Amino acid sequence: MPAHRLLRCILAAALATSVVCGREPELHERGGLPNLASRTRGEFRVAYLGGSITAAGDGWRSLTTVLLDRRFPGLTIQEIAAGLPGTGSNLGACRLSRDVLRHRPDLLFVEFAVNDSNALPEQIEQTMEGIVRQTWHANPYTDIWFVYTVSTPGLADLQAGNFPAAAQAMERIAAHYDIPSLHFGIEVARLIAARELVFKAPEAPTDKRTFSIDGVHPTAAGHRVYLAAIERALPVLLQTSKTAPHALPPPLHVDNWEGAGMRQLDEVNRHGKWLPVPLDDANLRGATKHLLPPLWRTSTPGDSIEFEFTGGIFGLLGIAAPDSGSFRVKVDDLPLLEATFFDGFVSPTFCRAREWFYPGRLPPGRHHVRVEFIEAAPDKLAIKAKAGRPVTEQAPYAQNRLTLGGVLVVASPEQ
């Protein structure tokens, strides 16, 4: 067994913990957290970028902030909550500057393993690498820590001793940049095997052995399992850290998402009767409002936005809500595409920010894009029924509008 793995196992035993020392360890300490290890006084900003598991109000994020506050009494821990439900590392790379980097974090947790489970491994590597390179270009002293959550599709891999495909892709980026990583699911799988935890038990939501109700989102007990993994890992990372700025090696992928960003709607041309949307709007119920950019909405078919960009990838940030209609996208002289932000998760009490990306990569160069709201509506009842969430009251879904918050652009590396 390599010396660093042996050290981890010895430390785990001394702390009476359950770090797995088999084929896939719970923790890869790599370069550790040098910024955190060297700081003893002053304000220390901790950012959490991820999906709904990170956004949970009393979950691993807030518990970790409390842990750091207790562990480092000389530091004033400031939390930057940037978890956005239902979104992956592609949107994460585009909103990183607005939601995280402008707050100048000293430590950045990145959690997208569950929401990236359906993405291609190469794309995950490109987007995660973009997050890393943007962060260290902004501040090479910011520590980054990848953490991997678990849902039903990835549990079997963990029980077999392997990381799920999304986490494997993220590990390739973590290894290239010497970033520590922690897989929360290793301990979850161990506890399930020991019959100390039930992965999914909707009939027993308050049982201390219930990890989740839906196979995705941890209960309070499940979040404490995640916190315990942080507690085990932290002493190891502090011991292996070396005080120095984080170096940026040559990229693993030249087409990574280092150039990802978001333009707000007031930076593009709007045509028609677009109106600003107040945050108390009924079709924003359940949305993570503190992360929403200024929103604009139209209910008039034919209203549009137009913009130009240089690069190969672009998308839109909109709102998935009961009133979400359809839109048409025209890029240069390419065929028209129709899309909608509406999906099977939408309900009158659950609306959320949702990304849409143009499929495929455009050729290098400058592109002109027109996005138009159209009269034809998505078949909302069919979409909901297919998702296993049939509509019982149709009235909230009758209206069709388009609500946009931003244009997502990934500039080419050479641009």
pLDDT tens by residue, 190-234: 999 999 999 999 999 999 999 999 999 999 999 999 999 999 999
For 177-274, list the strands marked E by DSSP: 181-183, 198-200, 210-212, 260-264, 269-271
CB atoms < 10 A from the CB of 220, how many?
14
| Contact (CB, 8 A) for 404 and 318 | yes
CA dist 251 and 177 (Å) reads 9
The stretch 126-138 carries a mean pLDDT of 98
Domain ranges of the chain: 3-240, 258-410
What is the H or E stretch that residue 92 is in?
helix 89-99
- For domain 258-410, give the CATH superfamily: Galactose-binding domain-like (2.60.120.260)
Please give the pLDDT value at position 24.
82
The stretch 324-337 carries a mean pLDDT of 97
Q: Are strands 304-310 and 296-298 parallel, antiparallel or unpaired?
A: unpaired
Please state which of the four CATH numbers 3.30.1120.10, 3.20.20.70, 3.40.50.1110, 3.40.50.2000 is assigned to the domain occupying 3-240. Answer: 3.40.50.1110
Please give the pLDDT value at position 413.
64
Percent of the chain with pLDDT strictly greater than 70: 93
Please give the pLDDT value at position 148.
98
pLDDT greater than 70 at residue 132:
yes
The stretch 34-52 carries a mean pLDDT of 95
Please give the pLDDT value at position 22.
42
pTM of the model: 0.92
Name the burial class of residue 118, with classes exposed (0-12), middle (13-18) and buried (19+) by CB atoms within 10 angstroms of its CB: exposed
Nearest to 223 by CA among 84, 47, 54: 54
pLDDT greater than 70 at residue 296:
yes
| Contact (CB, 8 A) for 375 and 402 | no
